Amino acid sequence: MNDDLRHQGMRKKLATGLKIKGIRNEKVLQAIEQVPRHLFMESSFINFAYKDQAFPIGAGQTISQPYTVAFQTQLLQVSKNDKILEVGTGSGYQAAVLLEMGAKVFTIERQKELYQKAQSFLPEIGYHPACFFGDGYKGLPHFAPFDRILVTAGAPSVPEDLKYQLKIDGRLVVPVGTEKRQEMTVIIRISENEFKTEKHGGFVFVPLLKGTVNS
């Protein structure tokens, strides 16, 4: 698959643009500079891959805007070897960014078509997350606890199951709100039954939905 100097140059520009928009974590910016976002998109959109915009990936879903990916990843405070659960695999781009930062990634998707696509595509370009088909509302109890949990779809409220799949000191980043607007929320597990909540501004995500879609 083609990733040439022109693509690399466009990614450098994208990372510089994200820095200007307020992304300060160098490791996040470096990861954005590494991951070939154009390969995650339908070919007709390739010329848009390095604009700071969201795009359709099929099955009515979108690959998040790079700024949103960078903002969520920065809030997650990723360290090398962190065990991370991502809810909403979608194109697999966010999972690749986390892998690029040295994390161990478990990612779950409720739409079979997208799950299958990501599961076969990511290893082809050198990324190896553990991919799961299922309802991410419930998390992955058999693989818990996690250092970090990232939800990449908008939830009507904080999914309780996910809070309890965090390690102590673990962080859950989840957009919470209505279908039209969600508040970026960080939940930190400070003890067995105590959680701290931070709010980080408004975003618009596709909705976090219950159950699975089998086609």
Q: Which residues bind ligand SAH (CB under 6 A)?
A: 61-64, 87-88, 90-91, 93-94, 108-111, 114, 135-137, 152-153, 206, 208-209
Is residue 146 exposed (0-12), middle (13-18) or buried (19+ Cβ within 10 Å)? buried
Least distance in angstroms from the C-beta of 191 to ligand SAH: 27
Residue type, position 200, single letter: H
Residue (48 or 168) nearer to ligand SAH, CB: 48
CB 105 within 8 A of CB 95: yes
DSSP 3-state of 160: helix
Residue 31 CA from chain centroid, whole number: 13
Hey, is 123 helix, strand or coil?
helix
Q: Compare residues 169 and 204 and give the one whose CB is closer to ligand SAH.
A: 204
Residue 105 or 187: the one with the smaller Cβ distance to ligand SAH is 105
The tokens describing 32, both together, are 């954005």
Q: Has 43 been annotated as catalytic?
A: no
The nearest distance, CB 104 to ligand SAH, in angstroms, is 17
Least distance (Å) from ligand SAH to the CB of residue 108?
5
Residue 190 CB, shortest distance to ligand SAH, in Å, is 26
Question: Considering beta carbons, is residue 124 or 194 the nearer one to ligand SAH?
Answer: 124
State residue 3 phi and psi, 5-degree precision.
-140, 95
- Residue of 64, 79, 91, 157 marked active site: 64
3-state class (DSSP) for residue 79 = coil
Sign of CA pseudo-dihedral 36, 57, 106, 173: positive
List the catalytic residues: 64
